[in-house]
Structures are given as C-alpha cells and as structure tokens.
Amino acid sequence: MGPFTKGVIEGANRELSLEGALRFARNVRFDGIGRLKARNGDEVAMTLKVTGGSSNVTSVVEVIQFADFALAVGHSTVTDEVYLYRFTAAMTGWYNAAGALQSNLNAEPVGVLWTACTTAPAVSIAEGLNEAYIAHNGSLNATALSFPLKKYTMPGTIATVTADFGAGVVNVYALGAVSYNQHLWIWGFDKTAVAGTAYRPEKLRHSAPYFDTIVAAGSGSFDIGHRVRSAREGIQCGIVAGEVLYIGGAFGLWAIVGEGRDSFQKKPLSSVVGIAGLKAACEANGVLYGWSYRGPFRVSGFSMPEELHVGIPDTVAAIANPQRVIAAYDEDRDQVCYFYDSSGVRKKFASYDITRDVWLGPDSAIGVGIACANRITPVTSSAVALDPPTGPPTAASTSSIGSTTAVANWANGDVSAGTSTTVEYRIQGATAWSSAGTAGTAATSFTITGLSNNTAYEWRAAHLKNGQLSAYLGPVAGSQFTTAESGTGTGDPMSPPTGLVAYDYTYYIGAGAVYMSWTNSGETDASTQIVRAGPSGAAPADGDYSAIVTKTPDLNGHVDFVPSTGTWWYKVRHVRGVDSSAYTAAVSVPMVV
Amino acid sequence: MAGFFYYGEDSGARILRANTGVTQVTSASTEQVHMHVKTWDWLPAGPIGDNVFREVAAVLKVSNGISFSLTPVVDEEDQLLRSFSVAGARTVEASAPVLERGARAAAELITTSRTGDVELEDILISGKGLRTTP
C-alpha cells in the first residue's frame, strides 16, 4: 500500500498494514496506490425549468445517457406536469424543442410527457434507435389507466405509444420499460384498454424487432412466476447487464436471453432475492448490482445471486423502505453507490467498490465511514435515520478580537460523539454568511480568521451531527464585534496565541527539559516569542521575564532546558516585525535538575 | 477519465455533477467537504497494560492552506483538542501532547477549513510501555 501505511503507529507496530490503521475515514478517497486524500465535492450542472422558464421544477425524477446526449425528466407540483429535457452529454448546454443548443444552465423542456400528474412519478426510460420510450411507474392499476407510454423523437416530438391487439388501436400503458437486443420491453400491461384486465403486474411484453410495434400475443409476452397479480411476483425492475435481461420482482429474479422474438427464453434465478424497486439496480462492468428486501446482491449470467448484505448488516436493517433505494454506478470511482431518498434529500448511504470487492458504508453513529470495509473511498453525506443534535449551542460571546481574527465562544447543547459545531460569519448588515469552519466535538470556541480590520462582524453557530444541523445560535449581542484597527507600531493589536501548556520532559529528553506548546492565533507570518522567568515560587512580575527564543511562523511547540531546580514560568506572544500581540497567561512547571 | 456521474435532486430542480471541487452543494448553498479520520486504538502493552503516552502527530500535504484539529484519545477519552492553521502549499507537521497514562491511545483528525487538495501522509502516536499485559 501507499506511504500512509508507514509509521501509522510508532514503534512497536511498524508492520501494521493500512487495514489496521484507521477505524473510520469520512470524506476521503485513495489516489494512486495509497495516497489518502480528502474527496472532492460536487457542483450544480443544470437547473430544470418548466416550459417558458417561469419557475423551477420541484423534483428531478430521472437522468440518463441517451445516444450522444443526456435526458432528464422533471416534475412540477405547481403545474402538475412532467417534463422531458435533452442536454449535451457533459451537461454543458441544453436543447430546446426545435433542437437548438442553448449554452446557459437553466434548461427548459423539449416537451411535456404527462399532465394532471399531482405527485412526482418514478419513470424509466428505454433507449431505442435515436428514440426514447418513457414509462410512468404509476401508469395503471386494477382500477385506472392514467399515464400512457410515451415515445420521444429528436428534436422535440413526444407521442403516445399505441398498439392494435386485434380489437382496435389502444394506448399502451407500462409500469416500466427497458431496451434489450433491439426490442422494447415493457411490463405491467396486457392487450386491452379495460383497466381491470389490462393491469398485469407480472406480465412482460416486448415489441417486434427494431422497436417496431408491441407484439400482440404468444411469443411477445412472458409471465414472471405463477402467482398472477401477486405483489410477490409483480415486476419491479428490468435491467440489462452483460448479455442478460434481468427481471426482478419484489422477491424473485429471472434472467432472459435470446436474440429475437422466437429465441427469447427465461430462467428463474431466485425466488428469494429480487429487486426491491424500479431504480434499485444498476449494471457495472456486465454485472448486475441490486438491492432486494434482504439487502444488496449481485449476479452475472445465469448464476445464483450473490448476496452482499453480510458486510453491512446494520445498514441493511436501517433501510425501512427498500423499494426507495436507488443504485447507480460511478465509473470514475468504480463504485456502485446506493442512495436512499426517504426524506426528500439525496443521501448516499453505502457504496460497493467493485475493484476492491469491499463495502464502504456507514459507521454507526459516526456517519459514513469504513467500519465494515477496512478500505477508504469517497462517500458522501450522512447516514440514514441517525439522530440530529440534541440541542443548539447557547451563550454566545466573542473574545480575543484582533484586527483580522476573533474567537467565537459558546456553550454546547450536544457533546456526544460525532457532533461538531459549524461557525459562520458575515459583516453586520450583509445577507450572506461565510463559513469560518467547524469545531470538533465538545469544543467551545473557534477562531474566526480572514477578517478585515475596523469592521463590524457577527457570527452564528450550530451543532452538526449526522449531517443534520441544530438551530443556530446567533446573531445575538454576544456574537457581534468590531475588529481592531490595524497599524505598524509596537502594540498593534495582533491576536495572541492561546492554549499555552508546559510539561516536565526530563523523563523523555533529559535533565531540565521542559516541553511547551500553544495554538497559533492565525496571524499571517507571525513568529512566536517565548519568555521565561524563575525559578520562583510565586508568579514573577512582567519585568522578571527574559526572551529565550523566537519560533518561526506556524511552529507551535518548543523544548527548553532550565539550568536549576525550582518552579519556572513561561509566557508566549506573536511578533511580526515591530508588531507584537499580548502575552498569554503565564504557566509554571516545577523542575528538579 | 471515465464518464460523468450526476445526481438529480428528489426535492429540487438541480442536477449535480459529482466528484469536482472542494465544496458540495447543500439545499441552501454550499459547504466544504472535510476529511475526518480516526485511528484504531494502539495498545503497546496489551489490552490491560499501562503506558504513558507522549503525543500524537499528523503529517499532511496541502495545496492551498488548511485548518484542522487533532485530538488525542486515551482509553476512549478525548484529550485536549489542538487546532492548526497554515496557508499556502506545504507539508504540515503538527503534534498534540498527551502525557496521560492508559492502556490504549488513538488519534482523530478533522479538517475544518480548506480551499485545495489535502493529503494525509501520516498519523503517529508515541508513548512508552510501563507494564505489559501479563
């Protein structure tokens, strides 16, 4: 492994491998052989608008590659319409209904798929020959036919798919659609326009070759399982992986192979493991990765599904509605990512590294980590169904106000493991907040840096736990302050160091050794001057101290050797040119030389 | 470089491009992505031995400044957290003293502000065994 493995533990365990080094790692990734780096973030690629651009959609329900482009589907609860969008493959621009490329990032639809749709639908898109078939997962049930299958033809034509099964042309309804071997496959619909008999959730039906008409009967249809219309054998998802079309029921999995309508054959693979939902499976390098009611699994060819839940049993148990799991393959990271959208917020709760064959998943209350994997990767956001902070921070005060820094202080409302405190600041009267940073568990202060001199600021703070924020403390009187004037003469109000401590290090280093450390205040290019007085049983006067050394910027420790037995006193301050900060409070250390 | 990876907002209008930059999109604005690592416990004298732990140290390579905290943990008790801030591109060596006796020690590192790449090169824990597990 990489250099990170060297000397992770000093001394006795030099041979420790990476697997023994880290209990958890959040928001990190490997680069190269073993470089452990902070992972990247994300950015807004495109914002979906309703027709005319008057407002945003309220939900993005699908994004896929399509030919040399990308397609997306959005829904608006304002218009109750479902829209289709087309982009460049890298989402650097979008196409209008006339096919003209627009370079801005506020996309308008190429057309409306369905109207009078009051809730965001789950949709599936099957790619044909420069055509796309879009199915609404709530298109029909035992009592109603609502949202027929649509066909999109570039640049801006959207039409309802129809078929004649011998009793006249009827609209085609489908709970889902998938493309396999030049045939369109749909499920959930039989050859009638009567709701009660059209609804066949166990029925799979395919088109004539090359995405021609839906086949009427016989070789054009398959029944999955034997319990007609049972929830157990209703088709949830159809997906192609390798050479196989996999059809998943809630508790069953079937494989279909063949090259034409007379050669298609089905084979049951499991009556236990299925695909929990429409989006609960994806293909990665020819292998199907899915999420069943028993948890994650993978399958290739005609083999039995290989269940993967043993690596993350707590995670599987935390998923209350597995039908809402979304699986996606991140090619950049070679990971299958599982998302859970129970509260309307995207949450990646676990990933499977397909090259290392390991899970990257939540670490109990800590958040997403590597507890179950011993490996590290980019994983994002908070785990599912974990606790928020128990209360907000309180009692704001501001101290050590310098020309460019100030220290925000608070009392904690939650000091449990995994709780941090995020601090933001702004110029008084401004609307936007800037991030000052995040303080660790149980910390009660944070130094805000990068301020301008002689300026009125205010800060606010909130606890952060499991990706959830508490209420903010501030802005209140105690979190408002004005930075000091800046100058060049002696006595300029530089912010002093904090947290000076000194210890007898005779045991470790030798006779008379005193180890001290402090926290730098963040003053740019500020050195730290150390002064000493003693030996003295009582606190010496300021004039009794003498400088012993000045440490270069960013250093925060020093070892001194005292010449005689007694109690020795130390103070430190920042210096920069002729400027200096105040001294810290004196600390003492009794020594025997 | 492989393909592109996008998220669609279930409750929103945005499509997000993953694996880019050092900030991530939230419902309201953006937030920095922060590294958070913790080592397994080091037990130089065994599970019920006695040691005096001296310090924990971290070595990081940064491309454009960083603030981070380093917390020694002895027998599962957090010790005094130390905060560090540096500017520019450099290798940062930071240490936090411990001076506690105990059976086990660990270190926890959390970045609190960053504007560039951060690579964790090493975490070290030092101490001396006083009494080994029988």
Q: Which residues of B touch A284 (CB under 8 A)?
A: none
CA nearest B72: which of B36, B100, B113, B93? B100
Is residue B132 less than 8 Å (CB to CB) from chain A?
Answer: no
Integer CA distances (angstroms), A330 to A301, A351, B39, in order: 22, 10, 28
Secondary structure element (H or E) that encloses residue A163, with its range:
strand A162-164
pLDDT at site A395:
94
Q: Which residue of A has its CA nearest to B82?
A: A519
Q: Name the 3-class secondary structure at A350.
A: strand
pLDDT at site A368:
33
Q: Which residue of B has its CA nearest to A47?
A: B14
Q: Name the 3-class secondary structure at A315.
A: helix
Contact between A237 and A279 under an 8 Å Cβ cutoff? The reply is yes
Per the listing, tokens 């801006």 go with: A156
pLDDT at site A223:
76
pLDDT at site A444:
93
CB-CB under 8 Å, B97 with A438 = no
For residues A21 and B35, give the distance between their C-alpha atoms in angstroms, rounded to a whole number: 16
Max alpha carbon distance in chain A (Å)? 109
Is residue B77 less than 8 Å (CB to CB) from chain A?
Answer: no
Which residues of chain A are under the pLDDT cut of 70?
A: 1-21, 30-34, 216-220, 226-231, 332, 341-348, 361-387, 466-467, 485-493, 578
Task: Count Cβ atoms below 10 Å from residue B126 Cβ, excluding itself.
Answer: 18
Contact between A109 and A51 under an 8 Å Cβ cutoff? The reply is yes
Please give, rounded to a whole number of angstroms, the shortest distance from the CA of B49 to a CA of chain A. 14
The size of the A-B interface in CB pairs under 8 A is: 254
Instruction: State the average pLDDT over residues B30-52.
Output: 86
Selecting from A36, A366, A520 the residue whose C-beta is nearest the C-beta of B120 gives: A36
CB-CB under 8 Å, A61 with B124 = no
| Non-local CB neighbours of B134 within 8 Å, separated by 6+ positions | none
CB-CB under 8 Å, B78 with A554 = no
Please give, rounded to a whole number of angstroms, the shortest distance from the CA of A9 to a CA of chain B. 5
CB-CB under 8 Å, A25 with B22 = no
Long-range contacts of the stretch A484-490 (C-beta < 8 A, 24+): A484/A401, A484/A402, A484/A403, A484/A453, A484/A454, A485/A403, A485/A453, A485/A454, A486/A403, A486/A404, A486/A453, A486/A454, A487/A579, A488/A577, A488/A578, A488/A579, A489/A578, A489/A579, A490/A578, A490/A579, A490/A580
Contact between A178 and A185 under an 8 Å Cβ cutoff? The reply is yes
Is residue B28 less than 8 Å (CB to CB) from chain A?
Answer: no
- Provide the CB-side half-sphere exposure for B55 (13 A, CA): 15
| Non-local CB neighbours of A10 within 8 Å, separated by 6+ positions | B124, B125, B126
pLDDT at site A466:
61
Question: Could you tell me the pTM of the whole model?
Answer: 0.65
Q: In what order do the strands lie in the sheet with A28-31?
A: A28-31, A35-38, B118-131, B50-62, B90-102
CB-CB under 8 Å, B15 with A91 = yes
Is residue B63 less than 8 Å (CB to CB) from chain A?
Answer: no
Positive or negative, the CA dihedral A225, A229, A233, A238 is positive
CB-CB under 8 Å, B80 with A499 = yes
Give me the interface pTM, i.e. the ipTM: 0.92
**DSSP code for A198:** H
Q: Which token pair is A165?
A: 């099964």
For residues A53 and A182, give the distance between their C-alpha atoms in angstroms, rounded to a whole number: 36
pLDDT at site A590:
92
Per the listing, tokens 């409306």 go with: A112
For residues A360 and A376, give the distance between their C-alpha atoms in angstroms, rounded to a whole number: 7
Cβ-count burial A571-581 (b if 16+ within 10 Å, e if not): bbbbbbeebbb
Selecting from A8, A440, A447 the residue whose C-beta is nearest the C-beta of B39 gives: A8
Answer whether residue B16 shows pLDDT above 90: no
Q: Which residue of A has its CA nearest to B3?
A: A331
Q: Which residue of B has its CA nearest to A37?
A: B119
pLDDT at site A236:
93
Q: Which token pair is A553?
A: 């910027």
Secondary structure element (H or E) that encloses residue A314, with its range:
helix A313-318
Please give, rounded to a whole number of angstroms, the shortest distance from the CA of B80 to a CA of chain A. 9
Q: Which residue of B has its CA nearest to A30?
A: B119
List alpha helices for B1-134, DSSP H: none
Q: Which residues of A touch B113 (CB under 8 A)?
A: 435-438
CB-CB under 8 Å, A38 with B114 = yes
Q: Name the 3-class secondary structure at B27.
A: coil
Q: Which residue of A has its CA nearest to B91?
A: A554
Is residue B123 less than 8 Å (CB to CB) from chain A?
Answer: yes
Q: Which token pair is A406?
A: 């100030």
CB-CB under 8 Å, A420 with B19 = no
Q: Which token pair is A96?
A: 């209008």
For residues A274 and A253, give the distance between their C-alpha atoms in angstroms, rounded to a whole number: 5
CA nearest A253: which of A237, A230, A241? A237
Positive or negative, the CA dihedral A242, A247, A252, A258 is negative
Selecting from A20, A40, A44 the residue whose C-beta is nearest the C-beta of B40 gives: A20
Is residue B112 less than 8 Å (CB to CB) from chain A?
Answer: yes
Contact between A336 and A343 under an 8 Å Cβ cutoff? The reply is no
For residues A382 and A392, give the distance between their C-alpha atoms in angstroms, rounded to a whole number: 19
Q: Which token pair is A276?
A: 């929990």
Phi first, then psi, for residue A483 (nearest 5°) are -70, 160
Instruction: State the average pLDDT over residues B37-50.
Output: 86
For residues A553 and A513, give the distance between their C-alpha atoms in angstroms, rounded to a whole number: 23
Is residue B115 less than 8 Å (CB to CB) from chain A?
Answer: no
Cβ-count burial A389-407 (b if 16+ within 10 Å, e if not): beebbeebebebbbbbbbb
Q: Name the 3-class secondary structure at A323.
A: helix
Secondary structure element (H or E) that encloses residue A123, with its range:
strand A123-127
Selecting from A28, A45, A436 the residue whose C-beta is nearest the C-beta of B37 gives: A28
Please give, rounded to a whole number of angstroms, the shortest distance from the CA of B102 to a CA of chain A. 16
CB-CB under 8 Å, B122 with A9 = no
Phi first, then psi, for residue A313 (nearest 5°) are -60, -40
pLDDT at site A20:
45
Q: Which residues of B touch A44 (CB under 8 A)?
A: 14-17, 25
For residues A323 and A342, give the distance between their C-alpha atoms in angstroms, rounded to a whole number: 10
Q: What does the H/E/C string look like for A495-535?
A: CCCEEEEEEECCCCCCCCEEEEEEECCCCCCCEEEEEEECC
